[in-house]
Amino acid sequence: MDEFEKLLEAERVPVERFVRFRLSARADADDVLQEVYLAACQKFHQLKNKDAFKPWLISIARNKCNDYFRGKAEQYEIPIDEMTEGELADSRYGVSVVSTVRETLDLLGDKDKQILYLYYWKALPQADIARRLNIPVGTVKSRLHTAKQKFKRKYPYHSEALKGEYTMKKLPEFIPAYKIEASDKAPFSVKWEELMGWFLVPKLGEKLSWGMYDMPSRKCSHIYDMLVTGKARVHGIEGVELTAREAPYSDKKDVISRTFVAQLTDTHCRYLATIRNDGGVRNYITFLDGDEFMSNWGFGIDNCGNETDLAAKGDIRRVGSEVTSADKDFLLDIVGRYTVTIGGKRYDTVCVMDIETYNSGVVSEQFLDKNGRTILWRRYNRDDWAIDRYQKKWSEQLPENDRLTINGVTYIHWYDCITDYIL
């Protein structure tokens, strides 16, 4: 094996992950990868610093991906040179233009969008706008001023957190009483766009608060405020940056802040990067960093993430508290339909079970309504989970808590989470 082959073998996984992130069609990604390897082989003699092989290879992959999108653009007759505000994005609908300005407009109300469109896009004088809308010119001026101020606040996505104005939301100290009743109706399919484990939809303008409640005390231990702060790119992949502010319920001033980047595609929701503060140094860990990233943040083949279009697949089967599952690495499935009554409100939900997809020995049940939003999330630990740390089985620590038997193994209910979506 020559030097090029050895270096390529060492970096094959990150470059393949990079290309498959950008190209959703597997066959197209494979074709582009072949072009990357061929170009790298032909140009390898030009690389003077072999220690820079990985970033050099990624740069070739980035260029080949751009060539792919340019070819698509020509096929769909999209004028690339005129796209000063946007980028090409590949989706199940073909090539589309993602515009920063248009996305900002989508965050505004219909009247604001209308007045800005007529004034800036159609270039109509205020008098013509007044006639078209049948309103006084003074009203046009007032609406236009208000709409511009709103647009300015949304663009380029300055957040409350960055201004220091974002305060921890009030959540109940004790989780409201709830009841979970199995339904004899067939489970419905659902579009689930929340980030797995964090409940926030990674879209511009989204924010959410949620609490963690110990069982059986039902008391809130920690609260989390989530906020999408703007767009972000990781290795050329566009997503959004999110902040998560965590504080104990008893002391909301003792705040820990986290930052990470996530991406919502047509079919999946996935993490791209997390940012840690290591001794005052901001440490960026991305999807190209192998096991260091994948063990906590990565899901699915090539970190494709969790599916957003959920329907019962039969991978997990549940009858009461008895659960059996298929022999697969990634086990997340709808297991039934349930009516969840919480805080006096009734919700028609499906239960999504996750069996040890992100943490060995941990199982969750997540009750989603037809909007794909979490009504109630419950965590279970395998009876011997982290026994070296806790020195007791969970059935001894929490003898009153609910239990599940999964493939003959006992799991104990530990804590619940609710969000301000249901409050």
* The pTM of the whole model exceeds 0.95: no
Do 78 and 191 lie in one domain? The reply is: no
pLDDT of residue 396: 95
Residue 101 falls within a domain, yes or no?
no
The yes-or-no verdict on residue 137 having pLDDT over 80 is: yes
Do 134 and 199 lie in one domain? The reply is: no
32, 58, 89 — which closes off a domain? Answer: 89
Average pLDDT over the chain, rounded to whole? 83
Do 71 and 148 lie in one domain? The reply is: no
Q: Distance between CA atoms of 69 and 305, rounded to whole angstroms?
A: 23
Do 230 and 113 lie in one domain? The reply is: no
In 3D space, the residue among 298, 164, 156, 165 whose CA is nearest the CA of residue 241 turns out to be: 156
Domain CATH for 311: 2.40.360
Do the Cβ atoms of 342 and 375 come closer than 8 Å? yes
Do 204 and 293 lie in one domain? The reply is: yes
Name the domain count of the chain. Answer: 3
Reported as a pLDDT band with limits 50, 70 and 90, residue 113 is confident
Residue 102 falls within a domain, yes or no?
no
Residue 128: exposure state from Cβ atoms within 10 A (0-12, 13-18, ≥19)? middle
Residue 384 falls within a domain, yes or no?
yes
Lowest mean pLDDT among 15-19, 21-25, 323-327, 359-363: 21-25
Do 131 and 256 lie in one domain? The reply is: no
Residue 98 falls within a domain, yes or no?
no
In 3D space, the residue among 406, 300, 320 whose CA is nearest the CA of residue 363 turns out to be: 406
- Over residues 204-215, the mean pLDDT reads 93
In 3D space, the residue among 377, 381, 335, 386 whose CA is nearest the CA of residue 356 turns out to be: 381
- Over residues 285-293, the mean pLDDT reads 77
pLDDT of residue 163: 39
Per-residue pLDDT tens over the stretch 321-376: 999 998 877 788 999 999 999 989 999 999 999 998 877 899 999 999 999 999 99
The yes-or-no verdict on residue 83 having pLDDT over 50 is: no
Do 360 and 270 lie in one domain? The reply is: yes
What residue numbers bound the domain in which 83 lies?
3-89
Annotate 9-44 with DSSP letters as a single string: HHHHHHHHHHHHHH--SHHHHHHHHHHHHHHHHHHG
Per-residue pLDDT tens over the stretch 238-286: 899 999 888 888 876 677 888 889 999 888 998 999 887 666 677 888 8
Reported as a pLDDT band with limits 50, 70 and 90, residue 92 is very low
Do 219 and 142 lie in one domain? The reply is: no
Q: Distance between CA atoms of 61 and 288, rounded to whole angstroms?
A: 13
In 3D space, the residue among 190, 260, 271 whose CA is nearest the CA of residue 224 turns out to be: 260
Lowest mean pLDDT among 62-71, 73-82, 336-345: 73-82
Q: How many C-beta atoms lie closer than 10 Å to residue 312's C-beta? A: 18
Residue 395 falls within a domain, yes or no?
yes
pLDDT of residue 38: 92
- Over residues 393-397, the mean pLDDT reads 94
Per-residue pLDDT tens over the stretch 163-207: 344 444 578 999 999 999 999 999 999 999 999 889 999 999 999
Give the total residue count for the chain.
Answer: 423
Do the Cβ atoms of 56 and 297 come closer than 8 Å? no
Domain CATH for 124: 1.10.10.10
89, 115, 132 — which closes off a domain? Answer: 89
Do 259 and 313 lie in one domain? The reply is: yes
pLDDT of residue 106: 66
Residue 134 falls within a domain, yes or no?
yes
pLDDT of residue 303: 76
Do 389 and 289 lie in one domain? The reply is: yes
Per-residue pLDDT tens over the stretch 294-320: 767 777 767 788 889 999 999 999 999
Residue 125 falls within a domain, yes or no?
yes
Do 144 and 223 lie in one domain? The reply is: no
Residue 170 falls within a domain, yes or no?
no
Do 118 and 228 lie in one domain? The reply is: no
Domain CATH for 58: 1.10.1740.10
55, 89, 123 — which closes off a domain? Answer: 89
Lowest mean pLDDT among 45-54, 92-101, 191-200: 92-101
Q: Distance between CA atoms of 324 and 357, rounded to whole angstroms?
A: 15
Q: Which of 60-64, 114-118, 398-402 has the highest mean pLDDT?
A: 398-402
